[in-house]
Amino acid sequence: MRTYFHVDMDAFFVSVEELYDPSLKGKPVIVGGRPDERGVVSAASYAARKFGVHSAMPLRTAYKMCPQAIFVDGHPERYREYSEKVYETLRGFSPLVEMASIDEAYLDMTGTERLHGPPLRAAHQLHQRMKEATNLNCSVGIATSRLVAKISSDQAKPNGVLWVIPGSEVAYLAPLDVRKVPGVGKVTEKNLHAVGIRKVGDLARLDERFLEERFGKWGLALAGKSRGLDAGGWFDTEIGAEEGPKSISHEHTFNEDTADVPQIESTLSHLCEMVGRRLREHGLHARTIQLKLRYSDFSTITRAHSVARGTQIDTELFEEIRQLFRANWRAGWPVRLLGVHASGWAQGEEQMDLLGEDRHEKWKQTLAAADRLRDRFGEKAVSLAASLRGNFRERTHENPASLPGKRPKK
């Protein structure tokens, strides 16, 4: 039998912002951007949640519900920095730590009793050390499976511990709404309600074959989850089995929809530079390049193209993306969002690109230099999109406010 901890930081983004600006403490704070911008709430303080504000809610809606809230921009670098500290702290409790996202982790605590004592004692220590090391609160769920640990950490919030004693998993889960099961979202919830399933207990009582017939492979996984088992899906992998990314993407939503080709293509170029840079950081060469287009009415298409040899070079990515865009954009239709997605990593000789060796070397050096400049001066310091500079300058000249990223903050 194993013992898992699920550690979830409380209101992580908001709490980190409070460390940088203590005057925010106790106030309704909303992280995600300005209330008049297109976007959603990334995180809301407990004071803001009292007004009904929650993450994923449009900023404009949040403003209507809580106009006195303090709206702040997110700071990904700060969150990454604190996420590192969280990881280091957790490593003091178990060598088997897996960050499941920027603000939550699984610990395999099996066999650590001699070192840390029984689970509740270890959790108490963990709270204390986390506070000392990061000044942040967290909640801890403890169980024999990762799934149940995750569900119980949610119920332990804020700043608490919940231990589901071995053997009591099914009884613990039974009265909970099916929505509490990770992986059950709006759609699955509705489908389950349609057949009279509302609680996890309803799910556990059903015949597995019925669930499989009705919901396929997912139905079978649900049957296991309702009994607290990790079997199937993401919970099934070993903790600490570090794997690289499977895809790398960047996207951008315009504050105002646009059908202006130079603006669209310079944005795509910029997104390709961001993707290319991350590919190089990870030493990856992508074989599949995907464009994402969202129109004013929110209808969205994706169009992909795979190449025999992978690339990590901005201009090559951009060539593919531009072709995809030109072949698939319904000309004149205002665009709301653009995205560039890279996946399908090339192995071995697939990574050799078709540029001659010296040209290739030269490019690599140029890009490495650009990456260093960006490290020092920020993402917008360098633009390699030579093919677009004319357009860029032209736009800048006639209408600086329409450039992405150059919108004046008022």
Query: According to the binding rule CB under 7 A, does residue 310 interact with DNA?
Result: no
CA distance 183 to 203: 14
SS3 content of the chain, % helix, strand, coil (to 5): 50, 20, 30
Token representation of residue 227 = 């009994």
Query: According to the binding rule CB under 7 A, does residue 240 interact with DNA?
Result: no
265 is catalytic: no
Q: How far is the CB of 16 from DNA (least distance, A)?
A: 13
Q: How far is the CB of 255 from DNA (least distance, A)?
A: 9
Q: How far is the CB of 368 from DNA (least distance, A)?
A: 20
Q: How far is the CB of 168 from DNA (least distance, A)?
A: 22
Q: Cα dist. 78→41, 74, 83, 274, 371 in Å? A: 17, 9, 8, 19, 20
Q: Please identify, using beta-carbon distances, which residue of 166 and 216 lies nearer to DNA.
A: 216
Token representation of residue 260 = 């202006």
Q: Please identify, using beta-carbon distances, which residue of 132 and 242 lies nearer to DNA.
A: 242
Q: Please identify, using beta-carbon distances, which residue of 59 and 126 lies nearer to DNA.
A: 59
Residue 336: other Cβ atoms inside 10 A:
21
**Piece in contact with DNA (CB under 7 A), picked from 36-44, 85-93, 126-134, 162-170:** 36-44
x/- map, 81-120, DNA, by CB under 7 A: -------------------xxxxx----------------
**Piece in contact with DNA (CB under 7 A), picked from 129-137, 169-177, 178-186, 356-364:** 178-186
Query: According to the binding rule CB under 7 A, does residue 39 interact with DNA?
Result: yes
Instruction: Give the residue, chosen from 339, 370, 388, 392, that forms a contact with DNA under the rule CB under 7 A.
Output: 339
Which backbone phi and psi does 7 adopt, to 5 degrees?
-110, 125
Q: How far is the CB of 8 from DNA (least distance, A)?
A: 8
Q: Is the dihedral of CA 59, 64, 65, 66 positive or negative?
A: positive
Query: According to the binding rule CB under 7 A, does residue 54 interact with DNA?
Result: no
CA distance 162 to 260: 54
Token representation of residue 181 = 């099961």
Q: Which of 17, 18, 104, 265 is catalytic?
A: 104
Query: According to the binding rule CB under 7 A, does residue 186 interact with DNA?
Result: yes
Query: According to the binding rule CB under 7 A, does residue 303 interact with DNA?
Result: yes
Cα–Cα nearest to 249, from 283, 287, 292, 285: 292
- To 5 degrees, how large is the angle CA 152–CA 154–CA 156? 70
Cα–Cα nearest to 385, from 302, 316, 297: 316
Instruction: Give the residue, chosen from 25, 27, 34, 38, that forms a contact with DNA under the rule CB under 7 A.
Output: 38
What are 31's strand-pairing partners? 43, 72
**Piece in contact with DNA (CB under 7 A), picked from 196-204, 241-249, 360-368, 382-390:** 241-249
Helices of type H across 44-102? 46-49, 59-65, 76-91
The residue written with tokens 């506070």 in the block is 131
Work out whether strand 4-9 and strand 138-143 pair parallel, antiparallel, or are unpaired.
Answer: antiparallel
Instruction: Give the residue, chosen from 249, 323, 366, 383, that forms a contact with DNA under the rule CB under 7 A.
Output: 249
| Residues labelled as active-site residues | 104
Interface contacts to DNA, rule CB under 7 A:
38-40, 42, 55-56, 58, 60-61, 64, 100-104, 182-189, 216-218, 232-234, 245-253, 274, 278, 287-288, 290, 297-298, 300-306, 336-337, 339, 343-344
